[in-house]
Amino acid sequence: MTSFLTTNPREIVLASYRTGAGTLPSTCVHLQNQNQVPLQPGQVAVRNEFMQLTAVMADLMHETPGLPMPAYPLGEPLWGGAVGTVIESTSADLAVGTVVQHMKGWQEESTDDASAFYPVPLEYLPGREYVLNQGVTAYHGMVDVAGVREGDVVFVSGAAGGVGSLAGQIAKARGAAKVIGSAGSAEKVRYLVDELGFDAGINYKDSSVEEQLAELAPEGISVFFDTVGGTQFEAAVQAAAPGARFALCGALAGQINGGNGGHPRLDVMSAIVKQLVILPFSTHHTPDQLAVWVSHYGQWLAEVKIVFPTPSSTAVSTPPLTPWTDSFRAGTGATSWSACTHEAPDPPADCLLHGAADRGAG
Ligand SMILES: NC(=O)c1ccc[n+]([C@@H]2O[C@H](COP(=O)([O-])OP(=O)(O)OC[C@H]3O[C@@H](n4cnc5c(N)ncnc54)[C@H](OP(=O)(O)O)[C@@H]3O)[C@@H](O)[C@H]2O)c1
C-alpha cells in the first residue's frame, strides 16, 4: 500500500543555510517531489490544506539559530504547523476524513504514525485554519505565567505580532481593566485599538515608551507581557506597580537586524523596591496546553471576545519586505499582522521572506 493518493505531491526543503540578514529565505529552499513511501501499520496519510507562517521559520534556516531548538536540517522539508485531512489510514485512532493539525510542515502530503496528528476541534472554530496561531504561547504566558486576572493593568510589547496580538486579547477576555500594546507604526496602533480591542496603543517609534506609559497608566502596570526586551523592558520596570508580574516571552529587539535588545539593563533598585516578579518562560506545547487553549479560544471567538484575522493566499510572489508577516500581508492585501496561513497545495516558496530573526551575522 502506498501512502500517496495524489499524483506527484511536492514539498519545500532547505537547500542551503541562510548566512545573514541579507540572505532571503526564498533563496535557500527548493520545491521537490515527495518520495512515495509505503504506509506502515498504525500510520496515516494527510493531504495538507493550510500551512502556518511564523517568523521563527526564518531563524531556523540559519545553521546556528541561537534558539532552544535545532536548525532545519539541509535537504529536509521545513517543519511547522499545518492542517489537513486524513486521506488514508491504517490506524484505528484516526479515520479517513478526519481533519488534523500537525507539525510536519511544508508538504502537500504528510505521512506518519497517527500519534503525530491531532484532530482539530472543528466544533469550536469558524474554520479549520483558525487552529494555526500562536495562542498556546500567548495563553500560557498571560494566564499560567503572569496569572492575569480581573482588574489588572496590562502592557504587551510587540502587540501587533503573532504572540502579542493574542496575548493582549486574552488579557481582556480574562477581565483585565486596561490593556495597552506597543507597535511600530500609527497604522498598527490603530489596528490594536480598533480591530483587536486593546484599550490603548503606543507607537514606540514616536516618543519615549516610559513617558507614554506614565500617561496611559498613571496607576502603574500590574502585568507586563514582553516579546521585545530592550528599552521597552526598561520602560516597563519604571512603569510597574508594586508586585507587578513580568512574563518574558521574547526579545524581538535583540533578534532582528542584529539589535542588542536582548540585553536590557535592569534597574535593580526599582525592581527591589517594587518587588517585581520577573518570569521568563518557554512554551512546550504539551497536549494539556493545546487543549486548554483551544477550548478557551473557541469560546472567546464565539463570544467575540477575541478576533483572529487569518489572511491567506494561494499565490504569493511579492517583493521581499521585513518582517515576514508584514511581507505576507503586503502580498495578500490582508488587514492583519497577527497571523498568516498559506493554502496548500501550492507551496509558498516566494513568501519565504525575511523573518523576525534577521540577526545580521546570524
Ligand atoms: N517563550 C516562548 O515560548 C515563545 C514562543 C513563541 C515565540 N516566542 C517569541 O515571542 C516573540 C514574538 O514572536 P512573534 O511570532 O509574535 O513575532 P512576530 O509576529 O514576527 O513579530 C514581529 C514584529 O516584531 C516587531 N519588531 C521588530 N523589531 C523590533 C524592535 N527592534 N523593537 C520592537 N519591536 C520590533 C515588529 O513589529 P513593529 O512593527 O510593531 O515593531 C515585527 O512586526 C519572539 O521573540 C519569539 O521568539 C517565544
pLDDT tens column, 169-190: 999 999 999 999 999 989 889 9
Q: Is residue 356 part of a domain?
A: no
pLDDT value of position 254: 80
Q: Do 222 and 102 have their domain in common?
A: no
Q: What angle do CA 231, 233, 238 make, to 5 degrees?
A: 95
Cell matching residue 2: 502506498
Q: How many CB atoms lie within 10 A of CB 258?
A: 13
> Residues 20, 25, 30, 31: what is their CA dihedral angle, to the nearest 10 degrees?
160
* Residue 140 and residue 119 share a domain: no
Are both 246 and 147 inside the same structural domain? yes
Last residue of a domain, one of 280, 299, 321: 280
Q: Among 227, 233, 353, which is best to mutate for testing ligand 1, by the most ligand atoms less than 8 A from CB?
A: 227
User: In the 8-state DSSP scheme, what is residue 19?
Assistant: -
pLDDT score recorded for residue 310: 58
292 in any annotated domain: no
342 Cα: distance to centroid of ligand 1 (angstroms): 20
Eight-state DSSP code of residue 77: B
263 & 145 share domain = yes
Residue 185 lies in a domain: yes
3-state secondary structure of 328: helix
Tell me: do 212 and 244 sit in the same domain: yes
CATH of the domain at 173: 3.40.50.720
- 64-84 burial, b at 16+ Cβ within 10 Å, e below that, comes to ebeeeeebbeeeebbbbbbbb
The per-residue pLDDT for 56 is 74
Mutational pocket test of ligand 1: of 203, 252, 325, the residue with most ligand atoms within 8 Å of the beta carbon: 252
DSSP 143: I
Pocket perturbation via mutation, ligand 1, pick of 163, 185, 234, 293 by most ligand atoms within 8 A of CB: 163
For the domain that residue 49 is a member of, what is the CATH number?
3.90.180.10
Q: d(Cα 118, Cα 85) in Å, to the nearest integer?
A: 11
- Both 124 and 92 in one domain: the answer is yes
Q: Tell me, what's the pLDDT at 21?
A: 64
Q: How many domains does the chain have?
A: 2
Residue 253 belongs to what domain range?
135-280
Q: How far is the CA of 104 from the centre of ligand 1 (A)?
A: 23
Q: How far, in whole angstroms, is CA 29 from its chain's centroid? A: 21
**259 CA → ligand 1 middle, Å:** 13
In which residue ranges of the chain is pLDDT below 50? Answer: 1-4, 312-362
Report the separation in Å between the CA atom of 243 and the middle of ligand 1, taken as the mean of its atom positions: 26
Distance CA 81, CA 134 (A): 10
- What is the predicted pLDDT for the residue at 131? 85
For residue 206, what pLDDT is reported?
Answer: 95
